[in-house]
Structure 1
Amino acid sequence: MPLLECRGLRKQFGGNVVLNGLDLDVSEHEVVALIGASGSGKSTLLRCVNLLEEIDDGTITLDGEEISDPRVDPDTVRRRIGMVFQSYNLFPHLSVLENITLAPRRVHRRERAETQRQARELLDRVGLADKADAYPDRLSGGQQQRVAIVRALANSPRLMLLDEVTSALDPELVGEVLTMIRDLKADGMTMVLATHEMGFARDVADRICFLDGGRVIEQGPPAQVLGDPIEARTRQFLHRIIEAGRL
């Protein structure tokens, strides 16, 4: 059984259909990269999986439980899902350590000492042990994004959703975040990531899904989808990416 199953997802904003009968399976320990033009449904899909947006039709199943059922408590589901956004969304009035330990203490009711110990261990792993007491405005963009990822990891999620986590970064800061995601893959974390970084998608993903018009048009191993796509629409998209020097 896949860890995550999406069946016939439909989401419409006014007259704009963003997800149009989308199907997606994600196996445990798999890394799936979502690619496609802006407006193809990548970010909306991630927000629907995390129950930040309510789907109009279809089902979302996590660990065999239909989490899209309106009777399901979204906060309970989100304890099993970590989500990291383009903007870091760190609380500016809290230190790095306080940002990371807030949810484990308030939501999971864990002891302060335990959450601080875990947070310091995670910060040490990503080279930010000396930033525990710093405030977000004292960090670079790359450091803030790594803290945002650590904050999501502190809840021990079953699934990580990463929405264009490098798009707001200066080019020289992208590498440190991508290295962290590679390390998560090596640890066996299940991830679905929306990205415009084609080279990164090729290197880290087990499977690439090309979205167009709110559906998965083509999917497969990175070498096949990026190197020898079957669908004409995929070839057209990648041709533009290559012309722009991004692959």
Structure 2
Amino acid sequence: MTALLEVSSLRKSYGDRVVLDDVSLTVQPHDVICLIGSSGSGKSTLLRCLNLLEDIDDGVITFDGREISDPRVDAREVRSRIGMVFQAYNLFPHLSVLDNCTLAPRKVHGVRRTDAEARALSLLEKFGLADHARKHPDQMSGGQQQRAALVRALCTSPTLLLLDEITAALDPELVGEVLSIVRAEAEAGMTMVLATHEMAFARDVATSVCFLDEGRILEQGPPAEIFSNPREARTREFLRRVLPGGGE
């Protein structure tokens, strides 16, 4: 199977501080890759590099058979096929939920307003937000806003979905409602790379888990292997801190 996304020897630094060091990753169609690791390990920066929101210092990123790390590549065109959802929602506060969801399909993909609204309303209904379509983000709870941000990303029918700690800013009781959408999309075959602190979710849904430490992918493998029998001492130490029983 031809990989949808390949990252080879990626390096990224801010001044003298190396944030990503020799990172390589292969994502096949329908994979759900969970990035785990302590805050500051490079997870968010990696996702931003994949979406061309950050320039890289070295390495190659190939998406759907095309090198997108080439500086001559039109980043906006690449992003039109990659959905990204951020921790802070990033909904436009002056637009209704419906307008947030239809903006990219209309302005980037040239979809007619009636068609864009029909798809957005269908997705909003699917994820329990039909009654909120005409509201502005500040009229909704954090969980509702994050679900709306997910719908907005899905409205462009992305080939790849990147999720950056999307539950980190939510109250614990709202986490489940957001993760249920992600789980549904994973089960429907959406290809995803997500940074998460939700270990139970990663264990249940991921096809592969990558443990990042100080900007490197220290260990990668199936969830059962990473959580039950990690090879690296640093991985075991991390899991002992975040899981009861250290992942056993």
What interval of TM-score do these two structures reach, taking the shorter chain for normalisation?
over 0.9
What secondary structure is seen at the aligned counterpart in 1 of 2:161? Answer: strand
| Correspondence list, 1:92-131, <5 A | 92-131=93-132
Which residue matches 2:65? Answer: 64
> How far apart, CA to CA, are the structure 1 residues paired with 2:142 and 2:53?
25
Is 1:18 paired with 2:26? no
Q: Is the 1:210–1:219 Cα contact (8 Å) retained in structure 2? A: yes
Paired AA for residue 71 in structure 2: P
User: Which amino acid counterpart does residue 198 of structure 2 have in structure 1?
Assistant: E
Counterpart of 2:83 in structure 1 is 82
1:153 lines up with 2:154 in the alignment: yes
CA contact (8 A) 1:61 1:68 kept: yes
- Counterpart position of 1:183: 184
2: distance between equivalents of 1:210 and 1:62?
Answer: 22
Q: Distance in 1 between matches of 2:70 and 2:175?
A: 37
- CA RMSD of superposed structures (Å): 1.4
For residue 100 of structure 1, what is the amino acid of its counterpart?
A: C
- Residue type matched to 1:69 in 2? D
- Cα deviation for residue 10 of structure 1 reads 0.2
TM-score (norm 1): 0.97
Residue of structure 1 in register with 2:55 after alignment: 54
Instruction: Indicate the residue corresponding to 1:166 in structure 2.
Output: 167
Contact 1:197 1:246 in 2 (8 A): no
Aligned equivalents of 1:200, 1:245: Cα separation in 2: 16
Q: What residue identity is the alignment partner of 1:40? A: S
Q: TM-score normalised to the size of structure 2?
A: 0.97
Deviates more, 1:199-208 or 1:234-243: 234-243
Helix, strand or coil for the counterpart of 1:88? coil
SS across alignment from 2:92:
coil
Counterpart of 1:50, as a letter, is N
Separation in 2, partners of 1:180, 1:246: 25
42-51 or 194-203, which moves further after superposition?
194-203
Q: Is the 8 A contact 1:34 1:194 kept in 2?
A: yes
Post-superposition shift, 1:109? Answer: 1.2
Query: 1:245, 1:11 → 2: CA distance?
Result: 31
1:39 maps to amino acid: G
Amino acid at match of 1:89: N
Structure 1 residue aligned with 2:206: 205
* Structure 1 position 243, deviation (Å): 6.0
Q: Which residue of structure 1 aligns with residue 35 of structure 2?
A: 34
Gapped regions of structure 2 (runs ≥ 5): none
Question: Quick one: distance in 1 between partners of 2:20 and 2:245?
Answer: 27
Shift of 1:245: 9.2
Which residue of structure 2 lines up, in the alignment, with residue 224 of structure 1?
225
Q: Give unpaired runs (5+ residues) of structure 1.
A: none
Shift of 1:147: 0.4
Counterparts of 1:150 and 1:246, CA distance in 2? 32
Between stretches 159-168 and 205-214, larger displacement belongs to: 205-214
Deviation (angstroms), 1:242: 2.8
